[in-house]
Chain A
Amino acid sequence: MGHCRPWKALRIHRRLCLCLLVLGMLLGSPLWAADVLLTASDDNSSVRTFTEELAAQRPRDQVRFVPLAQLPPPGQLPGSTRLILLDPQSLDWRLQDPLGPPTLVLRISRLQAQQRLAQSPHPRLSLLWSDPPLERQLRLIRSVLPQVRRVGVLYSADSRFLLKELHLAAQTLNMEIIAEPWDSTSDSRPLQNLLRNSEVLLGLDDPKLYNPKTVKNLLLSSYARQQALIGPNAGFVRAGSLASTYSDQQDWLQTLDSLLDQPPARWPRALYPTAFKVLSNPQVARSLGIEEIDPQAVARQLSEGEKHP
């Protein structure tokens, strides 16, 4: 029987190897190559650049971009794939199928999600909000305009659902939200009313209200009353809004990196990126007689305030 021992030993060794392998797979899945599939209806250079940068950040994963048109229905994709959606069209495609791989949805705002998902939340989606979190924006106001108490907010039927959350966030900061419905942006009376009753205007990322057509009226009206607009996004700061928080590609890569490190089961249903920056318009600040805003310092201060023990 002596000659059998080596065989037995070999078997044990094999089993051990297999056990270790399985254990390794279980414990160390991030170390294992994952199939990260990005998609969007549009195939353009910025999508490609983003994919390349994500791939560079995750050399062990197989990161690739496939245009939406070339993908099979979501249910036919392997369950082990980590799917990343980059635009609303790809979200619509994904929503066709309740099954399919776990999915991270990028570049989606609270409003877009409300319109698409309010009725039937999807169990396999993680929504990563593109609009700046309201509390963060309020804290930005607190930081750059510490004397302000009354924050004016215009809302449409689409963005009304955000008000409750906004009121709550304001309460904890000892601020008051003055909300004014703006049903027709060609009628500027609600805007004038609001500017009369508040000290600063906070923009919601609601394209019905904040768009290239309304930007002039919004900014000129508030400036005429020497009031600042905060938000709704980085683009508006360039147009003349005083400041906003925002997350750029680097911030999103960082957020994605930490999510992809986790098993999809632990992905949150919805998430605001913890990495963000502050953008300010120094010329507007100067004209309004506001101390120069140091974006890095303010971002750091806001970020520290968000770290709950």
Chain B
Amino acid sequence: MKKATVLTLTVLALAASSAFAADPVIGLITKTDSNPFFVKMKEGAEAEGKKLGAKVLSGAGKIDGDNAGQITAMENMIAAGAKTILITPSDAKAIIPAIKKAQAQGVMVIALDSPTDPVSAVDALFATDNFKAGVLIGQYAKAALGDKKPVIATLDLFPGHPVGAQRHNGFLQGYGLKSLDAKSNDLAQPSEVVCMADSFGDAAKGQTGMENCLQKNPGINLVYTINEPAAAGAYKALKAAGKEKGVVIVSVDGGCAGIKDVAAGVITATSQQYPLKMASMGVAAGVEYAKTGKKASGYTDTGVTLIAAKSMPGVDSKDVKTGTDLCWGNK
């Protein structure tokens, strides 16, 4: 019986303290706990929370695509008193009912990094324009290859993922090849793309995919990769085949490890995105809502910068030093 008394007192104490708590409670739900991009986003949110005096709860799905895990996290955070939910949705459509339920309870929901479908389902979106990120590296690749006929391999994420499709299709459009528009979830494959493999954003799987693509067509001279770990894997495969000097590798992310790879010549160009900015903007919006009741709205492009070691005529890129200054991750 003593245990029950202690438990009851604890619950009452917590309830009392939360009633008197001045700190706004903000929940951050990422796709996974293990992708460094989300780890940094979480750190950024917690740092901003400390600065502005907000309590940041964090949660995630188990794997990329785990919608149920995100719904559970959202319900738990709202029960714990969160008035703002920041979420990188694993599934753009399936999360909508849970968002609607949250909003009906007066909770502001902001999407970070990936949009929901429809975009209007959330109060606000702070994200990278992933299509634009693809376009920038596509344009750079075109300038880098010049007159050479492109023989392209794409190391994508996995089928049906909106971010994967946007970056892939944006890259092809930026290069000037036949592509699909930014709303499509399918991967375009013009004839210049001789091989498409799924890397799941993983270095080892990217390496395997690149090896198999090279086996299919040893003449590949341009590789688009979904993110920098996949690019690192692709480079390993090219190096083993002795082709690393003649092949251009482009990627997206702009993490510090990736920028190091740009400096080292592993990645030719990458589109840098800003997870810390998304997180801090989200936390600031949450604090604003808690204090003034004013909700954030609309789409704010948190920016994407093309980083390359060598600049190409006609393409606006920033150098490695800028990339390093702005990178996310361990410098």
The answer to whether A and B assemble together is no
